[in-house]
């Protein structure tokens, strides 16, 4: 029984490792294609592009909601900050910003409208003032950058360990 459980865990780790390897390959191809001037979406097989786009949208939406929630907790406080509000802010802000950049021919105007809408959503849903909404926005950007750097560091270290010895990954 224990041996069967052990092999099941090892198989799951192997699948996770294969997914990580595939993601690293996509990232490497994206970097190489950007150097060569080719578009990065050509790396993704054509049958999976729509699925990739939808999954990428929802993962980005969830990450943005978590970052906004953490920033709201720090600036506004726990009583007025709800995760559902952060999710609504991230959903409406992303959709409206996308619409602005698609239909307004002047990118600078679209940028100002986007920032205003994001701050207005934060102000209304967190029930706070404009300065607190600006503070939530700035802190959300700082948290997002810190998480991005942390994840890049972790994946870079895992990538180096994978190249050095495939057995080190199995220990995690």
Does 5 map to a domain?
no
Does 143 map to a domain?
yes
Same domain, 98 and 29: no
Burial code of 88-122, b = ≥16 C-beta within 10 A, e = fewer?
A: bbbbebbebbeebeeeeeeeeebeebbeebbbbbb
Count: domains in the chain: 2
Same domain, 30 and 53: no
Domain that holds residue 15: 10-41
Tell me the whole-structure pTM to 2 decimals.
Answer: 0.65
Same domain, 73 and 147: yes
3-state secondary structure of 105: coil
Same domain, 26 and 58: no
Stretches where the chain sits below pLDDT 70 are 1-43, 155-172
Query: Looking at residue 169, what is its pLDDT?
Result: 45
Does 3 map to a domain?
no
Does 104 map to a domain?
yes
Query: Looking at residue 119, what is its pLDDT?
Result: 93
């Amino acid at each position: 029984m224990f041996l069967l459980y052990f092999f099941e865990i090892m198989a799951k780790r192997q699948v996770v490792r294969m997914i990580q390897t595939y993601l690293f390959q996509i990232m490497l191809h994206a970097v190489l294609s950007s150097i060569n001037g080719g578009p990065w979406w050509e790396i993704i097989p054509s049958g999976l592009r729509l699925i990739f786009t939808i999954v990428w949208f929802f993962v980005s939406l969830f990450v943005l909601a978590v970052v906004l929630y953490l920033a709201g907790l720090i600036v506004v406080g726990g009583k007025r900050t709800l995760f559902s509000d952060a999710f609504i802010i991230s959903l409406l802000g992303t959709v409206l910003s996308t619409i602005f950049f698609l239909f307004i021919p002047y990118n600078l105007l679209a940028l100002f409208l986007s920032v205003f809408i994001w701050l207005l959503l934060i102000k209304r849903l967190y029930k706070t003032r404009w300065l607190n909404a600006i503070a939530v926005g700035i802190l959300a950007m700082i948290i997002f950058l810190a998480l991005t750097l942390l994840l890049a560091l972790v994946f870079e270290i895992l990538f180096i360990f994978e190249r050095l010895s495939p057995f080190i990954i199995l220990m995690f």
